[in-house]
Amino acid sequence: MNSSIPTETKVVIVGGGVIGCSIAYHLTKLGWKDVVLLEQNQLGGGTSWHAAGLVGRLRTTNSMTRINKYSVELYSGLEKETGHSVGWKQVGSIIVGKSPERMTQLKRTAAMSERFDVEVQLVGPEVAQQKWPLLRIDDVLGAAWLPHDGKVIPKELAIALAKGAQSRGASIIENARVKDIQYQEGRVRGVVTEQGTIKAEYVVLAGGMWTRELGLRCGVTIPLYPVEHHYVVTETLPGAFDELPVGRDPDLCIYFRGEGNAVMLGAFQNFSKPWLVPKIPENFSFQLLEADWEKFSEPLKNGKHRIPALENARFAKFVNGPESFTPDNNFIMGEAFGLRNLFVAAGFNSVGIASAGGAGKYLAEWMIEGEPTLDLWSVDIRRFAPWSNNVRYLRERVAEVLGLHYQMAWPNREFETARGMLKSPLHERLAARGACFGVKNGWERPNWFARGGLKPMAEYSFGRQNWFQCHAAEHRAAREAVAIFDQTGFSKFVFKGRDVVSILQRLCGNNIDVPLGQAVYTGMFNARGGIESDLTVIRIAPTEFLIITGSSQTVRDFDWITRNVRTDERAELVDITRGLSVIGVMGPNSRSLLSRVSDADFSAPAFPFLASQVVGIGTATVRAVRITYVGELGWELQVPMDQAGLVYDTLMMAGEDLGISNAGHYAINSLRLEKGYRAWGAELSPDDTPLEAGLGFAVDWAKPFLGRDALARQKDAGLKRRLVIFVLQDPEPVLWGSEPIYRDGRPVGYTTSGSYGHSVGGAVGMGYVNHTEPFKDEFIKSGKFEINVSGRNYPAKAFLRAPYDPQRTRILQ
Ligand SMILES: Cc1cc2nc3c(=O)[nH]c(=O)nc-3n(C[C@H](O)[C@H](O)[C@H](O)COP(=O)(O)OP(=O)(O)OC[C@H]3O[C@@H](n4cnc5c(N)ncnc54)[C@H](O)[C@@H]3O)c2cc1C
C-alpha cells in the first residue's frame, strides 16, 4: 500500500476497515479517482479482521436487503477482479425455530422475502439436519433455508476492496492517524495527520468504533459505542467441514458454522457487555479483549444442546472482539448535519461484513449525487440528535442492542434500556392514568392506557396483544366522544425572516402564501419528486411560520430546510421542539369541551378547518389549530411546556360528562389508517412521490417548487404504483406492516403500516401496489386482493379512498 501523505485531494477516507475500503472502492469505480484512505494502523486490523464473516442477504427492509444483496454479488466476483481471494463461499444459511412464535416469525420472513427477491425455503427439521448433520433436531419445529447466503474472510475482504480502489488511482496509506478534522464556514476542509495536513473537499469518517470520537472533534453527533461480541472455535471436530452452512438458532441466541474441520460457535446474548474504556486505544489493532468464559457459559451450554458433538470438544480460540453498536441497531450513514461534505459510515452493529459492499456503493453514490439514491432513512445519520451522544446513555442502550439480532421481532417491540430520555410535561399525569409508554426519537409517548385492571405492560404477540380492548376503547372515544392525545414529541420549528415565503414556496408542494393564521398541509420533495417530509405549515405573521413535522424527523427536516436556503436569502429556522407541548383534542365532542374552558368561539364559521388562533384554555394561553390526524373534528393545542399540565388538567376536569378519554399512539395509528392518512417513514419516503401516495390534492401545480418537473413527468407518463388501503374481511387477524399483498394470487407489494380498525371491524393497513403498466383505478377495483398474515392469505378489500368516512363532513363542519 502507498505511504506518502499528499497535501491535497478530493476525498479523504478515515479508516481502513471493510467499510472505508468499500467506500474507496466504489468512489473510484464511479469515477472519483482522487481518493486517499488513511488507516491509523493496518488495513482490517480494527474490528473487521476478527469478524465471523457471515454474509446474509435478507434484512428487514427492502433498502437494507438491497444493500446486502449487492454485497453478495460483489464478493462473489471480487477475487476475479482484484486477484485477491476473499474466501467467498456460498454455503447457504439455515435458521432453526423451536417455538411456535419463532415459526410464525420465520413464516413472516419467508413471505416477505419473496417481495425482496431473496429465496427462502421453509423446511422441516430433517432437512435442517441434512444441511447441518451435527444438529440436534428433537426440539426443532422447522427451519428457514437461505441457499444464497455465504461467508467471507473479512480481513481479506478489506484488502481486496483496497486493492480494487488502488488499481483505479486511490492512495491507501497505513500507519497514518487522523488527529483532527478541519472545517470552516460549515464545510469540511481537510484532516490533520501525524505526518501533515491534507486539504480535502470531502472527508468520510469510517473509523469503526473510533468514529464517535472523530465526530466530537468537529461537532458531529455519531452515537455509537463498542460492545464485546464473543465466539469460540473448536479444535478439529469429527463431522465438521468448512462448507457447512451458517447456522442460527435465535431462540438459543447462538450462531455456528464450519471453520475448516472445526466448528465456530458465536453468541448474540440478550444482554451484552459494553467495553468500559475511558477512550478506545489508538493502537488497538489485531487485538482482542480477554476471553470471558463466564459470560459465554450460557451460549456454550446452548451450543452443546444444539450440536451435541460440542460436548467433548476442545476449544482452540476464544474471540472477544469489541465492535460498535448504535442506539437503534441500525448503522449510521450520510452527510453530517451542519457540516457539509463530511460523510459518515460507521456503527455497523454486527452486520458490517455483510453490508460493507452495499453500504460503500450507496454512500459513494450519495456523495457523488449529493443525495441518497435509495431510501436510506433507517440508517441516516440525521435520525440522531445531540442528546443521544451521551456516553452513559449509549452504554446502557447498546447492552440491549447486540442481542436484538436474535430476539423475536415482535410487532411494536419497545426498548427496555435507557428510557426516559425526553419526557413530556404530562408524563407523570399520564403514567398515573395507566399510560403504557413507547419511545420515539427519545420521546416517551403513551402507546395505550391500561383499563379494566390490566397492568400498563405490553405482552407481545403476532396476533392481538393484551392491550387490544384498551385500544378499542380509546379508538371509539375519539370517534364517538372526545379523546386527549399527548403529541408533544412532534418536531416544531419557527421559520422567519425576509425571504421565508419564497423559500417555503420553493420547498413545499402546496401553496403556503396563505392568510395569517392559516395552516397548510404540504410535502417537501427532492429533485426526483420523492417525499423528503410531510408537514403542517402555519402562517403566524407575515414573514413567520410555525412548522410541525413528525417526531423522528427533527434533525432531518431542519437539515433539509436549511441546506436548501441560498446564501443570498435571509431567513432563520429555530428548533422549538423542546419548548412546546402539543395536546390533541379530538372527537365529535371536542368543540363542546373547548367551548367550556375557553372564551374563544370554536364554531365552524369562527374557527374553520385549517384555521389557527391564539386562545385561552382556562388560565393558560395556547395556539389552537383546527386540524386532525385521526379524521375527526378536533384541534391541536400548541402549549408552552410550562403550561401543558395546566391545560391538560383543565380539559380533563371539564370533559368528564362528555366521555373524555386519554388515548395513545396506537389509537392514532388505527384512526388515521381508517381515514387514509399517510405517515412519513411508513407510506411516505424519498422513494415515494405524492402522486403514488395519493397526495396530489396537496400539490399546487400553479407554482414552481423543488421536484415539480419530475412529478410533472410522472403525471404524464402515468403511475406504476399506487398506495392502497386494505381492510381484511376476516375480523380476527391483525396487520402490523410488512405483510405481502397479492392481487389475483400474484405478489404486488407489501404493507407499509397496519393496525386494527375498530370502526371498520377488521385489520386495516396500507401498502403500495405495483403494476407493470400505468395504473387505472380499475386495476384496484377489479382485482381480488389478499394479504399474507403469518403465512396465511386473507381476503382483503382494497380502497383508494378512506375505508371509514361516514362523517367526512363532520371534520369540516
Ligand atoms: C466477534 C465479531 C464477529 C462478527 N461477525 C460478523 C459477521 O459474521 N458478519 C458481519 O457482517 N459482521 C460481523 N461483525 C461485525 C463487523 O466486524 C463490523 O461491523 C465491521 O468490521 C465494521 O467495519 P468498520 O470498517 O466499520 O470498522 P473497523 O474494521 O474497526 O475499521 C475502522 C478502522 O478505522 C481506523 N481508524 C479509526 N480512527 C482512525 C483515525 N483517527 N485515523 C485513521 N484510522 C482510524 C481503525 O484503526 C480501523 O482499522 C462481527 C464483529 C465481531 C466483533
> Model confidence over 236-258: pLDDT tens digits?
999 999 999 999 999 999 999 99
> Is residue 526 within 6 Å of ligand 1 at its C-beta?
no
On whether the CB atoms of residues 593 and 660 are closer than 8 A, the answer is yes
User: Which residue from 353, 363, 406 has its CB within 8 A of the most atoms of ligand 1, so it is best to mutate?
Assistant: 353
Nearest CA to ligand 1 atom 51: 51
Nearest CA to ligand 1 atom 20: 352
Q: 429-436: long-range contacts (C-beta < 8 A, 24 or more apart)?
A: 429/645, 429/648, 429/649, 430/486, 430/662, 431/456, 433/662, 434/662, 435/662, 435/664, 436/467, 436/664
CA distance 388 to 615: 35
CA distance 135 to 125: 9
> Is residue 228 within 6 Å of ligand 1 at its C-beta?
no
> Is residue 208 within 6 Å of ligand 1 at its C-beta?
yes
- Report the pLDDT value the prediction gives residue 249, as an integer from 0 to 100: 97
Q: Is the pLDDT of residue 374 over 70?
A: yes
Pick the closest to residue 594 from 650, 665, 640 (CA basis).
Answer: 650
Specify the pTM. 0.96
Q: What is the mean pLDDT of residues 314-319?
A: 97
What's the whole-number average pLDDT of the chain? 96
- Report the pLDDT value the prediction gives residue 808, as an integer from 0 to 100: 53
Atom in ligand 1 nearest the alpha carbon of residue 21 = 25
Following DSSP, what letter does each residue of 101-150 receive, concatenated?
HHHHHHHHHHHHHHHTT---EEE-HHHHHHHSTT---TT--EEEEETT-E
> Is residue 50 within 6 Å of ligand 1 at its C-beta?
yes
Distance 420 CA to ligand 1 centre (A): 31
- Report the pLDDT value the prediction gives residue 112, as an integer from 0 to 100: 86
> Is residue 20 within 6 Å of ligand 1 at its C-beta?
yes
CA distance 221 to 212: 7
> Is residue 231 within 6 Å of ligand 1 at its C-beta?
yes
CA distance 379 to 329: 9
Q: Residues of 500-509 as b/e, b for ≥16 C-beta within 10 angstroms?
A: bbebbbbbbb
CA distance 740 to 729: 16
> Is residue 245 within 6 Å of ligand 1 at its C-beta?
no
- Report the pLDDT value the prediction gives residue 775, as an integer from 0 to 100: 87
> Is residue 215 within 6 Å of ligand 1 at its C-beta?
no
Residue whose C-alpha cell reads 408542494 in the numeric block: 509
373 vs 808, higher pLDDT: 373
Distance 154 CA to ligand 1 centre (A): 9
> Is residue 38 within 6 Å of ligand 1 at its C-beta?
yes
- The pLDDT confidence band at residue 810, using thresholds 50, 70 and 90, is low
- Residue 213, H or E segment: helix 211-216
CA distance 183 to 98: 54
> Is residue 153 within 6 Å of ligand 1 at its C-beta?
no
User: What percentage of the chain has pLDDT greater than the value 90?
Assistant: 96
Atom in ligand 1 nearest the alpha carbon of residue 348 = 19
> Model confidence over 513-568: pLDDT tens digits?
999 999 999 999 999 999 999 999 999 999 999 999 999 999 999 999 999 999 99
